[in-house]
Structure 1
């Protein structure tokens, strides 16, 4: 099984990175193929609402001069996707917002490609606003029919400077438990993923 961890923080070696790596630890130990993808700080533009993905239905975005199609291809292949973001003005980083808007739409346009996959959100925060970041990422998962695992608390860790989140004992323990939950859930649902109901998304109706 394959898990993709996407880092939306542009800060190399930062708190979001440390938390995502902690989530991946038990998955590596239990035989998963793991990949850490650095999106923060890379070129990815927002959705233009051109709706070409609904016309073409070719599993990609027509804007191909940035990192989107590369990371989207990995998301489609993954059994589990863990998106991590720092808290910027009580919301996700610009790179993660662009990813959510585009990946969510392209997946819906192409037979709900994320349906039945596992999706988890991880949030680094200095003090406040993390719950809204957590919700923003989970909204991508919910509208796409993904399965969100629980842990011991909301998946957030506290720290400002690089490495400070490692001192958040409860937060890091939660990351470890999240990885364990993903492992258990993935093995439980893997035999049934092909039969997951892919209800048609009624775009533009209602």
Structure 2
């Protein structure tokens, strides 16, 4: 069992990373492997709605998005972390996720576990948290809960150390993630099959 954690902050060793590390430590204590992917500081191409990924099976911009999509079979779940910018997640991460989640083969992620984590100084965390969860709610992934919204507070990683409830929330998330991963594995071993979904029918409010 292995989880991919995505650090969308421009600061590799910042508050978001500190929150993700708390989750990683908990996962490892439960015999779950974990890998943190940092998106870096460079600009991230956003989705241009060219629909070429539908034709080609991958995004036309051959960067970290395609590299990550190619590896998704390795992972049993995903946790994404973002700082809060004006009450929402940051642009680099949303550009990455817009392209990843739209272009990826749905069979690589549907039925897998997912969660989001946000970091803020004071406010806007719940809005950013809900925005990130939409990626999972629209792709047949299963969102893992914790004891509170998955948010951490502070300007620096040193500040985060003082957010004892926030760090506990991260540990609880890790515990719940590990438990549900094991439950999925046990269900598979018992022959309980994943649901088969109907072909998606796209409509709008005119027809």
* Matched residue, 1:184: 179
Whole-Å Cα distance in 1 between the matches of residues 122 and 113 of structure 2?
A: 28
- Report the secondary structure of 2:95's partner residue: helix
Whole-Å Cα distance in 2 between the matches of residues 94 and 185 of structure 1?
A: 30
Say if 2:4 is the partner of 1:4. Answer: yes
For the pair shown, the structure with the greater C-alpha radius of gyration is 2
In structure 1, runs of 5+ residues without a counterpart are none
* Matched residue, 2:98: 101
Q: How many residues align?
A: 201
- Report the secondary structure of 1:96's partner residue: helix
Whole-Å Cα distance in 1 between the matches of residues 13 and 32 of structure 2?
A: 23
* Matched residue, 1:17: 17
- Report the secondary structure of 1:195's partner residue: coil
TM-score by length of 2: 0.89
Alignment of 1:1-206 (within 5 A): 1-56=1-56, 58=57, 60-64=58-62, 66-107=63-104, 110-190=105-185, 191-192=187-188, 195-203=194-202
- Report the secondary structure of 1:49's partner residue: coil
Whole-Å Cα distance in 2 between the matches of residues 129 and 96 of structure 1?
A: 17
- The alignment's C-alpha RMSD in Å is 1.9
CA positional deviation for 1:194? 6.1
What does the per-residue CA deviation read over 1:47-103, in whole Å, with 9 as the maximum and x for residues that have no partner?
Answer: 1111111122x3x21211x32112223334311100000001111111111122112
Whole-Å Cα distance in 1 between the matches of residues 106 and 99 of structure 2?
A: 15
- Report the secondary structure of 1:160's partner residue: coil
Q: Which runs of 4+ in 1 moved over 2 A?
A: 71-77, 110-113, 190-206
TM-score by length of 1: 0.90
Whole-Å Cα distance in 1 between the matches of residues 181 and 125 of structure 2?
A: 26
Whole-Å Cα distance in 2 between the matches of residues 199 and 42 of structure 1?
A: 39
Whole-Å Cα distance in 2 between the matches of residues 158 and 114 of structure 1?
A: 30
Q: 1:204 to 1:44 in 2, by over 3 A?
A: farther
